[in-house]
Structure 1
Protein backbone atom coordinates (compact mmCIF):
# COMPACT_ATOMS: atom_id res chain seq x y z
CA UNK A 1 0.00 0.00 0.00
CA UNK A 2 1.12 3.57 -0.77
CA UNK A 3 -0.32 6.73 0.74
CA UNK A 4 -0.48 9.86 -1.37
CA UNK A 5 -0.24 12.97 0.80
CA UNK A 6 -1.01 16.39 -0.63
CA UNK A 7 -1.05 19.78 1.07
CA UNK A 8 -3.55 22.17 -0.50
CA UNK A 9 -3.57 25.90 0.24
CA UNK A 10 -6.92 27.35 -0.82
CA UNK A 11 -7.63 30.87 -2.03
CA UNK A 12 -9.06 33.04 0.71
CA UNK A 13 -12.82 32.86 1.16
CA UNK A 14 -13.29 29.69 -0.91
CA UNK A 15 -12.85 27.08 1.83
CA UNK A 16 -16.49 26.00 2.14
CA UNK A 17 -16.98 25.82 -1.61
CA UNK A 18 -13.76 23.82 -1.97
CA UNK A 19 -14.89 21.28 0.63
CA UNK A 20 -18.20 20.80 -1.18
CA UNK A 21 -16.58 20.58 -4.61
CA UNK A 22 -13.95 18.11 -3.44
CA UNK A 23 -16.68 15.64 -2.49
CA UNK A 24 -17.72 15.58 -6.13
CA UNK A 25 -14.21 15.71 -7.60
CA UNK A 26 -13.00 12.74 -5.56
CA UNK A 27 -15.52 10.52 -7.34
CA UNK A 28 -13.19 10.57 -10.34
CA UNK A 29 -10.39 9.25 -8.13
CA UNK A 30 -12.62 6.55 -6.67
CA UNK A 31 -13.24 5.09 -10.14
CA UNK A 32 -9.55 4.23 -10.52
CA UNK A 33 -8.41 0.65 -10.13
CA UNK A 34 -6.21 0.37 -7.06
CA UNK A 35 -7.91 3.21 -5.17
CA UNK A 36 -8.68 2.27 -1.56
CA UNK A 37 -9.95 5.29 0.38
CA UNK A 38 -9.26 8.93 1.12
CA UNK A 39 -9.34 11.43 3.96
CA UNK A 40 -9.75 15.18 3.68
CA UNK A 41 -8.45 17.08 6.69
CA UNK A 42 -8.20 20.76 7.56
CA UNK A 43 -5.48 22.47 9.55
CA UNK A 44 -6.56 23.89 12.88
CA UNK A 45 -3.61 26.27 13.14
CA UNK A 46 -3.05 27.38 9.55
CA UNK A 47 -5.93 29.01 7.73
CA UNK A 48 -6.84 27.77 4.26
CA UNK A 49 -4.58 24.71 4.57
CA UNK A 50 -5.87 21.18 3.90
CA UNK A 51 -4.31 17.74 3.85
CA UNK A 52 -5.56 15.03 1.50
CA UNK A 53 -4.52 11.45 2.22
CA UNK A 54 -5.32 8.84 -0.40
CA UNK A 55 -4.49 5.17 -0.02
CA UNK A 56 -3.54 3.25 -3.16
CA UNK A 57 -2.77 -0.43 -3.62
CA UNK A 58 0.44 0.49 -5.49
CA UNK A 59 2.31 3.63 -6.55
CA UNK A 60 1.44 2.85 -10.17
CA UNK A 61 -2.26 2.89 -9.28
CA UNK A 62 -1.88 6.62 -8.70
CA UNK A 63 0.84 7.73 -11.10
CA UNK A 64 -0.22 5.57 -14.05
CA UNK A 65 -3.76 4.47 -13.34
CA UNK A 66 -5.08 7.89 -12.31
CA UNK A 67 -2.68 10.66 -13.31
CA UNK A 68 -2.38 9.32 -16.86
CA UNK A 69 -6.14 9.09 -17.35
CA UNK A 70 -8.81 11.56 -18.38
CA UNK A 71 -10.23 11.25 -14.85
CA UNK A 72 -7.21 13.21 -13.62
CA UNK A 73 -8.01 16.04 -16.04
CA UNK A 74 -11.62 16.10 -14.87
CA UNK A 75 -10.53 16.08 -11.23
CA UNK A 76 -8.08 18.95 -11.67
CA UNK A 77 -10.59 20.99 -13.67
CA UNK A 78 -12.85 21.02 -10.61
CA UNK A 79 -10.18 21.51 -7.94
CA UNK A 80 -7.59 23.78 -9.60
CA UNK A 81 -9.65 27.02 -9.41
CA UNK A 82 -9.46 26.82 -5.60
CA UNK A 83 -5.74 26.11 -5.27
CA UNK A 84 -3.12 28.67 -4.36
CA UNK A 85 -0.39 26.11 -3.70
CA UNK A 86 0.02 22.31 -3.81
CA UNK A 87 2.68 19.99 -2.36
CA UNK A 88 2.48 16.24 -2.88
CA UNK A 89 4.48 13.14 -1.96
CA UNK A 90 4.01 9.40 -1.50
CA UNK A 91 4.45 7.60 1.82
CA UNK A 92 4.99 3.94 2.67
CA UNK A 93 3.33 2.63 5.86
CA UNK A 94 5.72 1.59 8.63
CA UNK A 95 3.86 1.31 11.93
CA UNK A 96 0.94 3.01 13.61
CA UNK A 97 -1.25 3.19 16.69
CA UNK A 98 -4.21 3.82 14.42
CA UNK A 99 -7.42 2.51 15.99
CA UNK A 100 -10.24 1.70 13.64
CA UNK A 101 -13.52 -0.11 14.04
CA UNK A 102 -14.57 -1.95 10.91
CA UNK A 103 -18.14 -3.11 11.36
CA UNK A 104 -19.49 -6.32 9.90
CA UNK A 105 -22.57 -5.21 8.01
CA UNK A 106 -23.55 -2.22 5.93
CA UNK A 107 -23.19 0.75 8.24
CA UNK A 108 -23.34 4.51 8.09
CA UNK A 109 -20.21 6.62 8.18
CA UNK A 110 -21.21 7.98 11.60
CA UNK A 111 -20.36 4.58 13.11
CA UNK A 112 -16.74 4.79 12.00
CA UNK A 113 -14.11 6.00 14.47
CA UNK A 114 -10.55 6.96 13.68
CA UNK A 115 -7.78 7.91 16.09
CA UNK A 116 -5.24 10.45 14.86
CA UNK A 117 -3.78 11.44 18.23
CA UNK A 118 -0.27 10.41 17.29
CA UNK A 119 -0.56 10.39 13.55
CA UNK A 120 0.01 7.32 11.41
CA UNK A 121 2.59 5.65 9.17
CA UNK A 122 5.39 7.13 11.25
CA UNK A 123 4.80 10.68 10.07
CA UNK A 124 4.14 13.73 12.24
CA UNK A 125 1.24 15.81 11.01
CA UNK A 126 0.28 19.34 11.86
CA UNK A 127 -2.78 19.50 14.16
CA UNK A 128 -5.75 18.60 12.01
CA UNK A 129 -9.44 17.83 12.17
CA UNK A 130 -11.65 15.77 9.93
CA UNK A 131 -13.98 17.54 7.54
CA UNK A 132 -16.56 16.30 5.09
CA UNK A 133 -16.98 12.54 4.86
CA UNK A 134 -13.23 11.96 4.75
CA UNK A 135 -13.03 8.32 5.81
CA UNK A 136 -16.21 6.28 5.64
CA UNK A 137 -16.76 3.00 7.41
CA UNK A 138 -15.41 0.09 5.44
CA UNK A 139 -15.77 -3.64 4.92
CA UNK A 140 -12.82 -5.96 4.20
CA UNK A 141 -12.82 -7.01 0.56
CA UNK A 142 -12.98 -10.78 1.28
CA UNK A 143 -16.28 -10.25 3.09
CA UNK A 144 -17.63 -8.20 0.20
CA UNK A 145 -16.65 -10.97 -2.22
CA UNK A 146 -18.29 -13.53 0.06
CA UNK A 147 -21.55 -11.60 0.05
CA UNK A 148 -21.43 -11.22 -3.73
CA UNK A 149 -20.80 -14.94 -4.15
CA UNK A 150 -23.64 -15.76 -1.76
CA UNK A 151 -26.08 -13.65 -3.79
CA UNK A 152 -24.82 -15.08 -7.08
CA UNK A 153 -25.22 -18.70 -5.96
CA UNK A 154 -28.76 -18.27 -4.66
CA UNK A 155 -29.97 -16.09 -7.55
CA UNK A 156 -28.56 -18.61 -10.01
CA UNK A 157 -30.18 -21.41 -8.02
CA UNK A 158 -33.58 -19.80 -8.46
CA UNK A 159 -33.05 -19.39 -12.21
CA UNK A 160 -32.39 -23.12 -12.58
CA UNK A 161 -34.72 -24.60 -9.96
CA UNK A 162 -37.50 -21.97 -9.53
CA UNK A 163 -37.64 -22.59 -5.78
CA UNK A 164 -38.73 -19.54 -3.78
CA UNK A 165 -36.26 -20.38 -0.99
CA UNK A 166 -33.40 -19.41 -3.31
CA UNK A 167 -34.84 -15.88 -3.28
CA UNK A 168 -36.01 -15.72 0.32
CA UNK A 169 -32.66 -16.58 1.93
CA UNK A 170 -30.53 -13.80 0.33
CA UNK A 171 -33.48 -11.41 0.58
CA UNK A 172 -33.73 -11.88 4.35
CA UNK A 173 -29.95 -11.57 4.76
CA UNK A 174 -29.94 -8.38 2.69
CA UNK A 175 -32.83 -6.82 4.59
CA UNK A 176 -31.14 -7.61 7.90
CA UNK A 177 -28.03 -5.81 6.67
CA UNK A 178 -29.98 -2.75 5.53
CA UNK A 179 -32.43 -2.46 8.41
CA UNK A 180 -30.64 -4.00 11.39
CA UNK A 181 -27.06 -3.32 10.23
CA UNK A 182 -26.37 -7.01 10.76
CA UNK A 183 -25.58 -9.17 7.76
CA UNK A 184 -25.41 -12.85 8.81
CA UNK A 185 -23.31 -13.76 5.77
CA UNK A 186 -20.62 -11.26 6.73
CA UNK A 187 -20.88 -12.21 10.38
CA UNK A 188 -20.14 -15.85 9.59
CA UNK A 189 -17.46 -14.96 7.05
CA UNK A 190 -15.62 -12.82 9.58
CA UNK A 191 -14.88 -15.93 11.64
CA UNK A 192 -12.81 -17.39 8.81
CA UNK A 193 -10.60 -14.37 8.19
CA UNK A 194 -7.01 -15.14 9.14
CA UNK A 195 -5.72 -11.57 9.45
CA UNK A 196 -6.92 -8.55 11.45
CA UNK A 197 -9.70 -6.72 9.61
CA UNK A 198 -7.63 -3.59 9.04
CA UNK A 199 -5.02 -5.58 7.09
CA UNK A 200 -7.43 -6.32 4.25
CA UNK A 201 -8.19 -3.97 1.38
CA UNK A 202 -11.24 -1.97 2.53
CA UNK A 203 -14.39 -1.49 0.49
CA UNK A 204 -16.51 1.60 1.06
CA UNK A 205 -19.49 0.58 3.21
CA UNK A 206 -21.68 3.37 1.85
CA UNK A 207 -21.16 2.06 -1.68
CA UNK A 208 -21.82 -1.52 -0.57
CA UNK A 209 -24.99 -0.33 1.12
CA UNK A 210 -26.10 1.17 -2.19
CA UNK A 211 -25.28 -2.07 -4.02
CA UNK A 212 -27.20 -4.08 -1.45
CA UNK A 213 -30.27 -1.90 -1.94
CA UNK A 214 -30.21 -2.67 -5.65
CA UNK A 215 -29.84 -6.41 -4.99
CA UNK A 216 -32.63 -6.42 -2.40
CA UNK A 217 -34.93 -4.48 -4.73
CA UNK A 218 -34.41 -6.94 -7.58
CA UNK A 219 -34.76 -9.95 -5.28
CA UNK A 220 -38.02 -8.49 -3.95
CA UNK A 221 -39.35 -8.01 -7.48
CA UNK A 222 -38.35 -11.55 -8.37
CA UNK A 223 -39.94 -13.01 -5.24
CA UNK A 224 -43.24 -11.15 -5.64
CA UNK A 225 -43.41 -11.99 -9.34
CA UNK A 226 -42.81 -15.66 -8.56
CA UNK A 227 -45.56 -15.67 -5.92
CA UNK A 228 -47.98 -14.28 -8.52
CA UNK A 229 -46.75 -16.71 -11.19
CA UNK A 230 -45.25 -13.99 -13.38
CA UNK A 231 -42.29 -16.19 -14.11
CA UNK A 232 -40.75 -14.15 -16.92
CA UNK A 233 -40.38 -11.17 -14.57
CA UNK A 234 -39.16 -13.34 -11.70
CA UNK A 235 -36.48 -14.94 -13.87
CA UNK A 236 -35.44 -11.63 -15.44
CA UNK A 237 -34.92 -9.94 -12.07
CA UNK A 238 -33.03 -12.96 -10.71
CA UNK A 239 -30.78 -13.05 -13.78
CA UNK A 240 -29.98 -9.36 -13.34
CA UNK A 241 -28.99 -9.96 -9.71
CA UNK A 242 -26.87 -12.98 -10.60
CA UNK A 243 -25.20 -11.18 -13.50
CA UNK A 244 -24.41 -8.05 -11.47
CA UNK A 245 -22.96 -10.05 -8.57
CA UNK A 246 -20.88 -12.22 -10.91
CA UNK A 247 -19.46 -9.18 -12.71
CA UNK A 248 -18.68 -7.62 -9.32
CA UNK A 249 -16.76 -10.74 -8.33
CA UNK A 250 -14.72 -10.34 -11.52
CA UNK A 251 -13.85 -6.80 -10.47
CA UNK A 252 -16.32 -4.42 -12.12
CA UNK A 253 -18.91 -2.85 -9.82
CA UNK A 254 -22.08 -1.99 -11.73
CA UNK A 255 -23.57 -0.38 -8.64
CA UNK A 256 -20.48 1.84 -8.33
CA UNK A 257 -20.90 2.95 -11.93
CA UNK A 258 -24.59 3.70 -11.44
CA UNK A 259 -23.97 5.63 -8.23
CA UNK A 260 -21.12 7.58 -9.79
CA UNK A 261 -23.27 8.62 -12.74
CA UNK A 262 -26.06 9.65 -10.37
CA UNK A 263 -23.65 11.74 -8.28
CA UNK A 264 -22.35 13.39 -11.42
CA UNK A 265 -25.89 14.17 -12.54
CA UNK A 266 -26.70 15.69 -9.14
CA UNK A 267 -23.54 17.77 -9.22
CA UNK A 268 -24.11 19.08 -12.75
CA UNK A 269 -27.71 19.87 -11.89
CA UNK A 270 -26.64 21.81 -8.79
CA UNK A 271 -24.15 23.79 -10.88
CA UNK A 272 -26.90 24.94 -13.23
CA UNK A 273 -29.44 25.74 -10.53
Structure 2
Protein backbone atom coordinates (compact mmCIF):
# COMPACT_ATOMS: atom_id res chain seq x y z
CA UNK A 1 0.00 0.00 0.00
CA UNK A 2 1.21 3.49 -0.88
CA UNK A 3 0.13 6.66 0.93
CA UNK A 4 0.04 9.82 -1.16
CA UNK A 5 0.18 12.97 0.96
CA UNK A 6 -0.25 16.63 0.01
CA UNK A 7 -0.74 19.87 1.95
CA UNK A 8 -3.24 21.91 -0.02
CA UNK A 9 -3.14 25.66 0.57
CA UNK A 10 -6.43 26.94 -0.82
CA UNK A 11 -6.77 30.60 -1.76
CA UNK A 12 -8.41 32.36 1.23
CA UNK A 13 -12.14 32.88 0.76
CA UNK A 14 -12.40 29.96 -1.69
CA UNK A 15 -12.64 27.15 0.87
CA UNK A 16 -16.37 26.45 0.48
CA UNK A 17 -16.15 26.37 -3.32
CA UNK A 18 -13.09 24.11 -3.06
CA UNK A 19 -14.94 21.66 -0.82
CA UNK A 20 -17.91 21.59 -3.19
CA UNK A 21 -15.66 20.91 -6.18
CA UNK A 22 -13.67 18.34 -4.21
CA UNK A 23 -16.89 16.40 -3.60
CA UNK A 24 -17.25 16.16 -7.38
CA UNK A 25 -13.56 15.37 -7.91
CA UNK A 26 -13.73 12.58 -5.33
CA UNK A 27 -15.88 10.59 -7.75
CA UNK A 28 -13.21 10.94 -10.46
CA UNK A 29 -10.48 9.39 -8.33
CA UNK A 30 -12.66 6.74 -6.70
CA UNK A 31 -13.03 4.82 -9.99
CA UNK A 32 -9.28 4.52 -10.58
CA UNK A 33 -7.49 1.19 -10.55
CA UNK A 34 -5.61 0.76 -7.29
CA UNK A 35 -7.51 3.48 -5.41
CA UNK A 36 -8.16 2.34 -1.82
CA UNK A 37 -9.54 5.48 -0.21
CA UNK A 38 -8.84 9.07 0.75
CA UNK A 39 -9.14 11.52 3.61
CA UNK A 40 -9.29 15.30 3.34
CA UNK A 41 -8.78 17.15 6.63
CA UNK A 42 -8.95 20.88 7.34
CA UNK A 43 -6.20 22.47 9.44
CA UNK A 44 -7.43 23.66 12.85
CA UNK A 45 -4.44 25.86 13.72
CA UNK A 46 -4.92 29.61 14.03
CA UNK A 47 -4.65 31.36 10.68
CA UNK A 48 -4.43 28.11 8.70
CA UNK A 49 -8.11 27.45 8.00
CA UNK A 50 -7.39 27.52 4.28
CA UNK A 51 -4.97 24.58 4.55
CA UNK A 52 -6.09 21.01 3.96
CA UNK A 53 -4.27 17.70 4.28
CA UNK A 54 -5.07 15.21 1.55
CA UNK A 55 -4.07 11.58 2.03
CA UNK A 56 -4.86 9.00 -0.62
CA UNK A 57 -4.20 5.27 -0.35
CA UNK A 58 -3.13 3.43 -3.51
CA UNK A 59 -2.28 -0.20 -4.14
CA UNK A 60 0.94 0.77 -5.98
CA UNK A 61 2.88 3.94 -6.78
CA UNK A 62 2.21 3.39 -10.49
CA UNK A 63 -1.55 3.33 -9.86
CA UNK A 64 -1.22 7.01 -8.95
CA UNK A 65 1.71 8.33 -10.97
CA UNK A 66 0.96 6.50 -14.21
CA UNK A 67 -2.65 5.32 -13.94
CA UNK A 68 -4.52 8.23 -12.42
CA UNK A 69 -2.25 11.00 -13.67
CA UNK A 70 -2.45 9.56 -17.19
CA UNK A 71 -6.24 9.29 -17.17
CA UNK A 72 -8.97 11.49 -18.64
CA UNK A 73 -10.40 11.77 -15.11
CA UNK A 74 -7.17 13.38 -13.92
CA UNK A 75 -7.58 16.11 -16.53
CA UNK A 76 -11.04 16.83 -15.07
CA UNK A 77 -9.54 16.71 -11.53
CA UNK A 78 -6.95 19.30 -12.56
CA UNK A 79 -9.57 21.55 -14.11
CA UNK A 80 -11.74 21.38 -10.97
CA UNK A 81 -9.12 21.69 -8.25
CA UNK A 82 -5.79 23.11 -9.37
CA UNK A 83 -7.02 26.73 -9.67
CA UNK A 84 -7.67 26.77 -5.90
CA UNK A 85 -4.03 26.17 -4.85
CA UNK A 86 -1.55 28.90 -3.94
CA UNK A 87 1.20 27.78 -3.93
CA UNK A 88 0.85 24.58 -5.89
CA UNK A 89 1.24 21.65 -3.47
CA UNK A 90 4.10 19.19 -3.32
CA UNK A 91 2.84 15.62 -3.50
CA UNK A 92 4.78 12.90 -1.70
CA UNK A 93 4.42 9.13 -1.57
CA UNK A 94 5.09 6.92 1.46
CA UNK A 95 5.47 3.16 1.89
CA UNK A 96 4.37 0.87 4.68
CA UNK A 97 4.72 2.16 8.26
CA UNK A 98 8.16 1.66 9.79
CA UNK A 99 6.83 2.26 13.31
CA UNK A 100 3.39 2.35 14.88
CA UNK A 101 2.14 3.09 18.39
CA UNK A 102 -1.05 2.65 20.36
CA UNK A 103 -2.16 4.08 23.70
CA UNK A 104 -0.63 2.38 26.73
CA UNK A 105 -2.95 0.13 28.69
CA UNK A 106 -3.75 0.61 32.39
CA UNK A 107 -2.01 -2.65 33.25
CA UNK A 108 -3.28 -6.08 34.26
CA UNK A 109 -6.89 -6.34 35.39
CA UNK A 110 -7.22 -5.90 39.12
CA UNK A 111 -3.81 -4.23 39.53
CA UNK A 112 -3.76 -1.53 42.14
CA UNK A 113 -1.75 1.64 42.05
CA UNK A 114 -0.27 2.94 45.25
Q: Is 1:37 aligned to residue 37 of structure 2?
A: yes
- Deviations along 1:191-222, one digit per CA (max 9) or x if unpaired, are xxxxxxxxxxxxxxxxxxxxxxxxxxxxxxxx
Is 1:96–2:100 an aligned residue pair? yes
Residue 100 (structure 2) pairs with residue 72 (structure 1): no
Matching of residues 1-273 of structure 1 within 5 Å: 1-45=1-45, 46-85=48-87, 86-94=89-97, 95-97=99-101
Gaps (5+ residues) in structure 1?
A: 99-116, 118-273
SS of corresponding position for 2:66: helix
Take 1:82 and 1:54, find their aligned partners in 2: how far apart are those partners? 19
Relative to the length of structure 2, the TM-score reads 0.80
Deviation at residue 97 of structure 1 after TM alignment: 4.2
SS of the residue 1:44 aligns to = coil
SS in 2 for 1:78: helix
Q: Match of 2:107?
A: none
Quick one: distance in 2 between partners of 1:2 and 1:42?
22
- How many angstroms apart in 2 are the aligned matches of 1:96 and 1:42? 24
Cα deviations by residue, 1:204-246 (Å, 9 ceiling, x for unpaired): xxxxxxxxxxxxxxxxxxxxxxxxxxxxxxxxxxxxxxxxxxx
Report 1 or 2 for greater relative contact order, CA contacts < 8 Å, sequence distance ≥ 6. 2
Higher Rg of the two aligned structures: 1
For residues 47 and 15 of structure 1, what CA distance do their matches in structure 2 show? 8
More helix by share: 1
Per the alignment, residue 104 of structure 1 pairs with: none
Number of residues paired by the alignment? 99
TM-score by length of 1: 0.35
Aligned-pair RMSD on alpha carbons? 1.6
